[in-house]
Amino acid sequence: MKTSELVNQLLERNKQEPLQLYEPGQTNKKLGEPDEKLTNEAYNKLCELWNKDEKSRGFVKFLIKAFLPKNPLNKILSFSGNPGRCCVLGIKLAGVKEISDLWAPVQLLRAGRTLEVSAGKDSYKAAKEFKRKERELFQKMPVEVRNSTIGYFSDKDWCDKYLSGEAYTALLEFVEDCLWGEEEDVLYILNQLRNEEKKRDEKAKGHEKGFERKERSPKPKKDKTYNLTQFVDEDTLKQLKKIK
């Protein structure tokens, strides 16, 4: 297997200048947004897998084919039973419903705290009580829910893997960097995906045409006999056929 110098350069660059998903100094991310540290960890892991061996590179190719183009609606609604795991980072994943249900009390508590502060009712005792209640709510949450690590699935029926939002973001960044650097294997995969999409579109258009309403050919014009043929003789019938 030929080692990619481009990917080696991407890995070294990201170690020195990690991806920045948020504004400098921003400490709180919105619920469900990817964690910056984990995203960089996933990016580095993808680079390392690409140059590790043929099997590992094949796995990254598999992920590109399975999860591109990105569909933001492909979020796991709920994991029945045991939570899934991100196939890149190995971390547990949560569904949108679990996160929404278990985070609702926290958001309600924070909203109440904001109202207290804006109304000038803030105090050391109130702040301490708020922190205690918030800590208790977090302790009851599974770690994947507390970190709002949403799981993503592929819309390809041959893929049963899951990605975290962090790994998904890292995969998109990796593919974009390889595209700009003209990494041959990635360019080949993207061309494959483009051609497959084109074929699907052409097939869909052909399918629609099959249901188009066809124009009926005009019926042959019948001679006007007024349904009297059984009552008239042959000469009279000839005269009736001449009527326009």
pLDDT in tens, 12-44: 999 999 999 888 766 556 777 889 999 999 999
113-169 confidence digits (pLDDT tens) = 888 888 887 788 888 888 999 899 888 888 888 888 999 999 999 999 999 999 999
Please choose, from the candidates 88, 75, 27, 47, the residue with its C-alpha nearest in 3D space to the C-alpha of residue 183: 47
Q: Token pair of 41, please?
A: 């960890």
Amino acid identity for residue 171 in this structure: L
Estimate to the nearest angstrom the gap between the alpha carbon of 3 and the chain centroid.
30
pLDDT of residue 80: 77
Are the beta carbons of 109 and 140 closer than 8 angstroms? no
Residue reference for tokens 């804006």: 118
**Contact partners, residue 243, CB within 8 Å, separation at least 6:** 224
Give the whole-angstrom CA distance, residue 198 versus residue 35.
Answer: 35
Residue 100 tokens read as 């929404």
Q: Report the percentage of the chain scoring pLDDT > 90.
A: 45
Coil, strand or helix at 126: helix
pLDDT at 57: 96
Q: Are 226 and 240 within 8 A, CB to CB? A: yes
C-alpha closest to that of 154 among 79, 242, 64:
64
Domain residue spans of the chain: 5-94+148-209, 97-141
**Beta strands 162-164 and 151-153, pairing class:** antiparallel
193 vs 27, residue with greater confidence: 193
Question: No. of H helices and E strands in the chain?
Answer: 9, 2
Cα separations (Å) of 223 from 230, 236, 237, 240?
A: 15, 14, 10, 9
Q: Using alpha carbons, list the distances in angstroms from residue 54 to 59, 72, 168, 172, 215.
A: 9, 30, 22, 21, 57
